[in-house]
């Protein structure tokens, strides 16, 4: 689909003259409470409460904080205090309430950690180069393919999911070290 | 022998026959002019005529046909009424008109039973059908259209209850249905993809069209396989009188058609069409590229149509034909970027889209006996589309070069082998029975995506697991168009189907019933019920009609789509038949609809395509009003529709009912055809309708930034189709000036230059403040073309 969109975006304006016009759609659309949380076993619960705003509302874009929100965290049905540390298997319910923007809640079960038995990776360097350019922060570049083999225990009886966070940036202080 | 030329002016006829049944000649005239013939059932029995006319006025042709006979004619509106003249004896015919076989002179008598040439040529008040329309090729050509191209879809878009879809799109939506719920046929064989250029042009070249039959409310039992409408486009055959043709050159496209005899019994007909859009785009691309040395773009689009037909008349009872249609589109675009300093970086992207239709068929029309005729058809139809993205990256740092190339390709194909037999039987004057059966071998390839990435010595290639699905479909039908007394007409029929795929067999039952009660000579009421079944559907990912919209069969746990539709109508025509008024209401229930589920794009890209789908239901209701002037130099109609359409899916929109995309509450169409003189014709179409529905994400929220890369604004899900685009309206004008050798056509699409909104975008203004923007397309577009006839 991305292919198509790009292709037509390049082509259509050349043939069919079009234009755009700024407007307000006038849809009745009110801000609602927005609740985000990151729960990791063994770490404190992180909760962020904000509100949505209409896309073209510049004020909302600049300030979408909620100053009257009350957040409650329940673990296995019991209200938790600030000292609570989630454990694997806990069922956590988070409730946020605001007089202005209503309420939002979510419930999740802390997944069990899946042990990683082995990680094996083999980089294949394709090219590397260094140069000097005072306008650029990056003064070196390396291209490589990385083959990664990950060995985990995925029980077929467990309904779970995995997130592979593949990211990284090589920023050696000494370009010669690349 | 019957011979029809490929072109004719409105009310001008080209026909050459020698000793042929008069009823056959009338059919030829109907196809060329769109006029109706009404006559006593025994009037033309055993009447054979010989006439040779090339582009002659209709009246002269009729006079030549019946010269020397006791048959007279009278033109009343769009009806030509034939009856016997009060003649004492039949005189010998002049030399210019060969002798006729004339039935023995009979005393004139009153018209009671009448025969019409085909089911859609009778006045609406006298049939049992609701929402049926027949248009001749010339009537379609008289419609003004974008870039000078008249278009079947746009012509149908002027009918009440038919919406033209998004701006510029040559597609139709009937009674709130989706575009894929319309069955388009070329000589009774389905075409799956009927659009060029994302829908800007339809695949039907009007040069090759004899006439079209269109049904949108009550459906004859012959047709099934779609939920909303049926369109059968009939193509022209060649001429036996000589080689005739037409060459049309316009600002944006050209077409050429020619037909003629091959021997005494065989004719050929060829029509081809091609736009010049790729030539138009060349200087625009060059201008764009001249502004930058390192950044270049490329764009090229073209399509072509080819219609060919060879007809052979074996004898007076049997005629065979072979025809081919090939439509082919390709779009190439790309970009090149280059950064040169101490470090050279280059990126090239190429996008190639290719899609089209191939249809080959052969048929035999055989008259088993005077009251029974048969049509045998064998056909192969194939739709194909492919997309390819080719990305090349090169990094040269001080002579150390790294390169990578990524290619992604997606294919979507359907191939059908079709074998069918249709019979037409008139056992007596009160019954007209049609029956038949057919077998179709389908082969579906809904989507196959392959990816290939190469960098250095490493190559990674993947291909998804989608396979081609074969399917077997068997259809059979029977219907009887009955006249019960002089006032009541009933059409009762049944269409049955079996669809076998992946070891499962689905059964489709389609009862059809329609009845028309003529309360007076000029007033009738009708009612109908139809059940239709659909085994293939198209999945639309975007607002536009694009070749990537995959045709997929019913598979897995999904059930075939079906629809129950009831309709009722009343029809009134003035005593002089100049004006016809109709009011038709409908209520439609749609079952087992298939669409993408919410957040389908979160599914893994290599997952089977049907894992992203869900099933639901829909409904549509409304009323269509129409006033039509069918006679005189000034003709046309005014149509108004009031309609509602909605959808409900358990896995879409949180399970709540939402309005359909083409839930156009009010639609008004005004069509004017003014024959100023024999040489000059002016046509105008004004279209206005409530805007299409659109999902506009109005609220945004700020990502919390808990994890790396998770930041910035994100749109919040909104109710589906929560926003109605602004009211759509447009005026198209066309002026045709004829001369001895052809005619000029001047047309103005969107004559008062009201650019309609096709979409809404969340964007930023010049100060980078967030704003909503209407995207408008297609301003006033004048075009000119000249058609040379030879």
pLDDT in tens, B237-280: 887 778 888 999 888 788 899 999 998 889 999 999 888 877 77
**E strands, B59-196, where?**
71-76, 79-84, 114-116, 132-136, 162-163, 173-174, 182-186, 189-191, 195-196
Chain B: closest CA distance from residue A115 (Å): 21
Write down the mean pLDDT value for chain B.
Answer: 83
Q: Check if the interface score ipTM surpasses 0.90.
A: no
* Residue of A7, A27, A124 with shortest CB distance to B331: A7
Residues from chain A contacting residue B335 (CB–CB below 8 Å): 10
| Nearest Cα to Cα of residue B345 among B303, B272, B306, B395 | B395
- Give the DSSP per-residue string, B263-291: TTTEEEEEEEEEE-HHHHHHHHHHHHHHT
pLDDT tens-digit map of A82-132: 889 999 889 999 999 999 999 999 999 998 877 788 888 877 766 666 666
pLDDT band at B544 (very low <50, low <70, confident <90, very high): low
Q: What percent of chain B has pLDDT over 90?
A: 36
How far apart CA A41 and CA B644 sit, in angstroms, is: 52
Residue B146 has pLDDT above 70, yes or no: no
Other C-beta atoms lying within 10 Å of the C-beta of residue A18:
17
- Touching A: B residues 332-361, CB under 8 Å: 333-335, 341-343, 349, 351, 353
CA-CA-CA-CA dihedral for B123, B129, B133, B136, to nearest 10? -60
Query: How confident is the model at residue B94, as a pLDDT?
Result: 38
Residue B547 has pLDDT above 70, yes or no: no
Best residue in B346, B549, B708, B772 to probe A by mutation, most A CBs within 10 Å? B772
How far apart CA A94 and CA A79 sit, in angstroms, is: 10
Residue B609 has pLDDT above 70, yes or no: no
Q: What is the pTM of this model?
A: 0.79
Intra-chain end-to-end CA distance of chain B, in Å: 22
Chain A: closest CA distance from residue B703 (Å): 8
Residues from chain A contacting residue B351 (CB–CB below 8 Å): 3-4, 6-7, 10
| Nearest Cα to Cα of residue B636 among B158, B268, B138, B100 | B158
Q: Which residues of B349-376 are buried (b: 16+ CB within 10 A; e: fewer)?
A: bbbbbbbbbbbbbebbbbeeeeeebbbb
Query: How confident is the model at residue B102, as a pLDDT?
Result: 36
Structure token pair of residue B318? 């049997």
Residues from chain A contacting residue B707 (CB–CB below 8 Å): 38, 165
Tell me if chain A has a CB within 8 Å of the CB of B251.
Answer: no
* Sign of the C-alpha dihedral computed for residues B646, B185, B441 and B193 taken in this order: negative
Q: How many CB pairs under 8 A join A and B?
A: 187
pLDDT band at A49 (very low <50, low <70, confident <90, very high): very high
pLDDT tens-digit map of B721-730: 999 999 999 9
* Sign of the C-alpha dihedral computed for residues B604, B605, B611 and B612 taken in this order: positive
Query: How confident is the model at residue B602, as a pLDDT?
Result: 61
Query: How confident is the model at residue B109, as a pLDDT?
Result: 40
* Residue of A23, A141, A167 with shortest CB distance to B774: A23
Taking an 8 Å cut-off on Cβ atoms, the answer to whether A15 and B389 are in contact is no
pLDDT band at B359 (very low <50, low <70, confident <90, very high): very high
Chain A: closest CA distance from residue B275 (Å): 12
Residue B561 has pLDDT above 60, yes or no: yes
Other C-beta atoms lying within 10 Å of the C-beta of residue B394:
15
User: Is pLDDT larger for residue B333 or for residue B438?
Assistant: B438
C-beta of residue B517 within 8 angstroms of C-beta of residue B526: yes
pLDDT tens-digit map of B40-84: 766 776 777 888 777 778 888 888 888 878 888 887 766 788 887
Q: What is the mean pLDDT of residues A164-175?
A: 57
- Touching A: B residues 438-467, CB under 8 Å: 455-458
Best residue in B355, B700, B780 to probe A by mutation, most A CBs within 10 Å? B700
pLDDT tens-digit map of A125-166: 666 666 665 555 555 666 677 778 888 888 777 777 777 776
Query: How confident is the model at residue B114, as a pLDDT?
Result: 40
Residue B214 has pLDDT above 80, yes or no: yes
Q: What percent of chain B has pLDDT over 70?
A: 87
Taking an 8 Å cut-off on Cβ atoms, the answer to whether B281 and A15 are in contact is yes
- Give the DSSP per-residue string, B199-265: GTEES--GGGEEEEEEESSS--TT--S-SSEEEEEEEPP--SSS-EEEEEEESSEEEEEEEEEETTT
C-beta of residue B332 within 8 angstroms of C-beta of residue B387: no
C-beta of residue B679 within 8 angstroms of C-beta of residue B633: no
How far apart CA B609 and CA B615 sit, in angstroms, is: 14
Query: How confident is the model at residue B26, as a pLDDT?
Result: 82
Residue B348 has pLDDT above 60, yes or no: yes
Q: Which of the listed ranges B101-105, B188-192, B506-510 does the model predict with the highest average pLDDT?
A: B506-510
Chain B: closest CA distance from residue A117 (Å): 24
Chain A: closest CA distance from residue B761 (Å): 9
């Amino acid at each position: 689909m991305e292919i198509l969109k790009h292709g037509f975006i390049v082509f259509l304006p050349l043939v069919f003259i079009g234009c755009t016009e700024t407007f307000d759609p006038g849809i009745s659309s009110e801000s609602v409470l927005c609740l985000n949380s990151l729960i990791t076993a063994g770490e404190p619960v992180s909760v962020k409460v904000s509100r949505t705003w209409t896309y073209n509302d510049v004020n909302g874009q600049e300030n979408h904080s909620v100053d009257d929100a009350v957040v409650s965290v329940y673990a296995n049905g019991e209200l938790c205090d600030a000292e609570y540390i989630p454990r694997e298997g806990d069922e956590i319910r988070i409730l946020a309430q605001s007089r202005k923007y209503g309420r939002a809640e979510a419930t999740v079960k802390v997944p069990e950690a899946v042990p990683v038995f082995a990680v094996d990776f083999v980089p294949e360097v394709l090219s590397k180069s260094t140069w000097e350019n005072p306008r650029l922060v990056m003064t070196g570049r390396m291209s490589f393919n990385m083959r990664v083999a990950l060995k985990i225990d995925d029980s077929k009886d467990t309904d779970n999911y995995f997130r592979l966070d593949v990211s990284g940036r090589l920023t050696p202080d000494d370009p010669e070290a690349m | 022998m019957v011979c029809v030329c490929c072109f004719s002016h409105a009310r001008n006829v080209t026909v050459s026959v020698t000793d042929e049944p008069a009823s056959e000649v009338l059919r030829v005239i109907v196809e060329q002019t769109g006029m109706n013939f009404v006559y006593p059932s025994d009037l033309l029995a055993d009447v054979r005529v010989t006439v040779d006319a090339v582009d002659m006025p209709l009246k002269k042709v009729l006079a030549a046909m019946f010269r020397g006979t006791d048959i007279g004619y009278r033109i009343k509106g769009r009806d030509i009424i034939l009856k016997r003249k009060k003649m004492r004896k039949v005189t010998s015919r002049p030399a210019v008109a060969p002798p006729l076989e004339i039935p023995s002179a009979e005393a004139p008598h009153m018209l009671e039973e009448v025969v019409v040439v085909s089911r859609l040529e009778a006045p609406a008040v006298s049939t049992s059908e609701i929402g049926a329309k027949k248009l001749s090729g010339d009537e379609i050509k008289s419609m003004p259209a974008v870039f000078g191209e008249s278009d079947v879809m746009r012509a149908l878009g002027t009918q009440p209850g038919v919406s033209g879809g998004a701006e510029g799109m040559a597609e139709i939506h009937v009674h709130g249905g989706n575009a894929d719920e319309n069955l388009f046929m070329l000589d009774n064989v389905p075409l799956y993809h009927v659009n060029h250029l994302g829908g800007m042009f339809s695949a039907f070249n009007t040069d090759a069209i004899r006439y079209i039959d269109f049904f949108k409310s009550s459906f004859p039992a012959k047709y099934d396989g779609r939920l909303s409408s049926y369109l059968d486009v009939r193509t022209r055959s060649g001429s036996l009188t000589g080689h005739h043709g037409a060459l049309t050159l316009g600002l944006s496209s050209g077409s050429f058609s020619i037909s003629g005899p091959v021997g005494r019994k065989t004719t050929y007909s060829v029509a081809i069409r091609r736009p010049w859009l790729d030539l138009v785009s060349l200087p625009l691309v060059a201008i764009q590229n001249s502004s930058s040395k390192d950044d270049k773009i490329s764009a090229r689009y073209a399509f072509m149509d080819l219609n060919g037909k060879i007809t052979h008349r074996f004898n007076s009872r049997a005629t065979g034909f072979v025809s081919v249609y090939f439509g082919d589109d390709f779009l190439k675009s790309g970009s090149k970027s280059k950064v040169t300093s101490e470090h050279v970086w280059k990126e090239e992207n190429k996008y190639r889209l290719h899609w089209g239709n191939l249809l080959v068929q052969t048929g035999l029309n055989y008259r088993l006996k005077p009251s029974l005729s048969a049509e045998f058809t064998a056909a192969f139809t194939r739709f194909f589309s492919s997309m390819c993205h080719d990305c090349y990256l090169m990094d040269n740092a001080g002579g150390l070069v790294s390169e990578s190339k990524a290619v992604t390709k997606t294919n979507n194909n359907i191939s059908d082998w079709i074998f069918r037999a249709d019979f037409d039987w008139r056992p007596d004057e009160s019954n007209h029975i049609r029956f038949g059966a057919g077998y179709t071998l389908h082969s579906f390839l809904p989507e196959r995506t392959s990816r290939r990435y190469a960098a250095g010595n490493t190559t990674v290639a993947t291909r998804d697991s989608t396979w081609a699905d074969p399917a077997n479909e068997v259809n059979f039908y029977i219907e009887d168009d009955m006249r019960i007394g002089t006032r009541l007409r009933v059409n009762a029929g049944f269409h049955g189907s079996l669809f076998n795929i992946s070891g499962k067999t689905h059964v489709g039952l389609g009862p059809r019933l329609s009845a028309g009660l003529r309360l007076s000579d000029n007033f009738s009421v009708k009612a109908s019920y139809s059940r239709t079944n659909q085994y293939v559907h198209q999945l639309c990912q975007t607002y536009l009609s694009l070749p990537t919209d995959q045709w997929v069969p019913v598979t897995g746990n999904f059930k075939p789509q079906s629809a129950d539709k009831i309709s009722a109508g009343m029809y009134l025509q003035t005593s002089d038949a100049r004006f016809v008024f109709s009011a038709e209401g409908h209520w439609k229930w749609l079952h087992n609809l298939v669409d993408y589920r919410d957040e389908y794009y979160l599914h893994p890209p290599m997952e089977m395509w049907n894992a992203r789908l869900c099933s639901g239901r829909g409904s549509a209701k409304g009323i269509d009003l129409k006033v039509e002037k069918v006679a005189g130099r000034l003709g046309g109609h005014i149509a108004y529709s009031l309609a509602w359409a909605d959808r409900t899916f358990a896995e879409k929109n949180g399970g709540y009912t939402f309005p359909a995309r083409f839930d156009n509450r009010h639609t008004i169409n005004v069509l004017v055809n003014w024959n100023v003189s024999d040489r000059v014709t002016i046509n105008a179409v004004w279209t206005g309708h409530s805007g299409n529905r659109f999902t506009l994400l109005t609220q945004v929220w700020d990502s919390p930034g808990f994890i790396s890369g998770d930041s910035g604004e994100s749109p919040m899900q909104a109710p589906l189709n929560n926003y109605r685009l602004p009211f759509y309206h447009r005026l198209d004008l066309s002026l045709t000036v004829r001369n001895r050798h052809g005619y000029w056509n001047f047309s103005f699409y969107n004559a008062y230059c009201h650019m309609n909104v096709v979409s809404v975008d969340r964007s930023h203004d010049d100060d980078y403040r967030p704003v909503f923007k209407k995207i408008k397309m297609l301003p006033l577009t004048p075009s000119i073309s000249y058609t040379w006839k030879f």
